[in-house]
Chains A and B, each alone.
Chain A
């Protein structure tokens, strides 16, 4: 099986974020990490390859810093990488990102494309499904299990409130992968060494420019959310905080 994994670099979970001068995006001088669901998508691709043989290719878009995501993926076992390298990719909406990816892989023949179910920055939860539609492929979302069979694959979709569903589908297909589908591996020392010799194909903005258009949605402004609740801060030493809290639990909330 030849599998493409779409990955994204996002600000670290606890990175303090500040608005830039446009007040429509953040200042980018923060620490970054792999979007968590994408790490599970990569892991699943590697496991499928180990079971059925094949190739795992990883793709990302963004400035030079985002190459780190590809390096880590190659160190974990991906065979090669595609980097749509330009700062302009950061500002693309989900439709344009999917269009850029579709253009970058037009000469490839994948059996499966994986994405994480959503990103920790924009949180659209759309790019994978859009990509499927652009390619004319079937898709399934929020996947917790993948089994290859004669006719294609059987996947386990997570529904809401603890429900699940198996879906049979033909290949090629796009799947969006849920966090927790597997246990993530660490890159080994030898893996990190080998990654240095694995190819990263760079795709410039100009190469996919004709495939993308104007964004169809625009962030007018970004801001720290206004609080809807009055929050009381409880401060002091741990012992003082414990006393104050218990007093509230007992006398105000009456749960003790």
Chain B
């Protein structure tokens, strides 16, 4: 039997999570490099409803893993269901998107199987028959190529945006769907999750903004936010921030960009005093043009910037605001 790759897609609230297609693309790329067979699994209370959509992609087979105990999501039930599937089907490599949900259960699943997870990968390499997974370390300042040293199954998760979901190849014909019933004994599930909710109505929809002026730790104190606000106003853009600024209460949470905030892709993203931690980058790397101002020339934000200004934002921002005003006034 050839080695197989199993991609576990994610469904939430009755919808396939878009990031699932990125993991399918990753699986297809690894399958092409290694010659391994690609399969997929959908897990949930109503997995078969999503299986057809996944089966339309270029995969050899789709498993629809179902049990009423898989709704609502709990790490206990998901780990139990996937352990059964993986033990039965014996894939060599199991891939998942690095979502909050996957982070919640995949270390448990792998540990229960005596295996490890290479988490939050941004790519892979296939060198001399060896599979390496590339991941960011030290908040993106360095990258590492990591290999598995154990027997299969191997577990890896891919960061949001690491692969293009729209590049997931369609299959010539629909792949077969195999229904699998997960046996989850009473007492396995210990957590009782309540309804998912949104904290407050989001006052600002940053996803619609064409210009975003975003501020990070480099702003030092709350009173300095005004400086950046003036620039945002002069540019006619929205003010946004990285997580620590909102954690401090210097700007409301609905102005936060990143994995726990909003994901944006404006025409212009101006990052001021933002180092560019992975959690922030995933929320804005799709911006058409990124201008970064940071005093640390090695800040990871410069890796993805189109224009880099190494300097103190307190020196740069005031003259920039004046210059923008001048040009705008002059028409």
Asked if chains A and B come from one complex, the reply is yes
Residues of A participating in the B interface, judged by any CB pair closer than 8 Å: 11, 13-14, 16-17, 19, 24, 26, 93-95, 98, 120-127, 129-130, 132-134, 138-142, 157-170, 178-180, 214-225, 227-235, 238-239, 241-243, 245-246, 248-250, 253, 255-256
Q: Does B183 count as interface, using CB distance less than 8 angstroms? A: no
**What are some 14 contacts across the A-B interface (CB < 8 A)?**
A123-B139, A126-B103, A126-B119, A129-B103, A133-B111, A140-B104, A141-B103, A161-B262, A180-B246, A215-B149, A217-B148, A220-B132, A222-B142, A238-B311
Residue-by-residue, is B26-60 near A (CB-CB < 8 Å gives 1, otherwise 0)? 00000000000000000000000000000000000
Q: Could you say which residues of chain A place their CB within 8 Å of the CB of B173? A: none
Instruction: Report the tally of A-B residue pairs with Cβ distances under 8 A.
Output: 249
Residues of A within 8 A of B172 (CB): none
Given the interface pairs A26-B138, A180-B243, A234-B307, the reply to whether A256 lies near B144 with Cβ below 8 Å is no
When the two chains form their complex, are residues B196 and A159 in contact, meaning their CB atoms are under 8 A apart? yes
* Complex CA–CA separation, A87 to B256 (angstroms): 38
Q: In the docked arrangement, what's the CA distance between A26 and B104, Å?
A: 29
Is B165's beta carbon under 8 Å from chain A? no
B162 to chain A, nearest CB (A): 12
* Overall SS of chain B's interface: mixed
Is A229 a contact partner of B142 (Cβ separation < 8 A)?
A: no
Determine if B150 and A216 form an interchain contact, defined as CB atoms under 8 angstroms apart.
Answer: yes
Q: Chain B's nearest CB lies how many Å from the CB of A40?
A: 9
Smallest distance from the beta carbon of A256 to chain B beta carbons, Å? 6
Q: For B112, what are the chain A residues with a Cβ–Cβ distance below 8 Å?
A: 133
Tell me, rounded to whole Å, the shortest Cβ–Cβ distance linking B231 to chain A: 10
Contacts of A157 in B (CB 8 A): 193
Contact B146 A217 (CB under 8 A): yes
Chain B: minimal CB distance from A36 (Å): 8
Q: Does B100 lie within 8 Å of A170, measured CB to CB?
A: no
B320 at the interface (CB under 8 A from A): yes
B137, B196, B202: which has the most chain A beta carbons within 10 Å? B137
Q: Are B108's CB and A180's CB within 8 A?
A: no
Q: A17-B141, A243-B323 are in contact. Are A225 and B303 (CB under 8 A)?
A: yes
Q: B116 touching A95 by the CB < 8 A rule?
A: yes
Q: Does B186 contact A (CB under 8 A)?
A: no
CB contacts (< 8 Å) of B117 on chain A: these are 94, 124, 126
Extra contacts, 5 of them, besides A121-B138, A129-B75 (Cβ < 8 A), are A13-B217, A138-B190, A139-B108, A164-B198, A233-B308
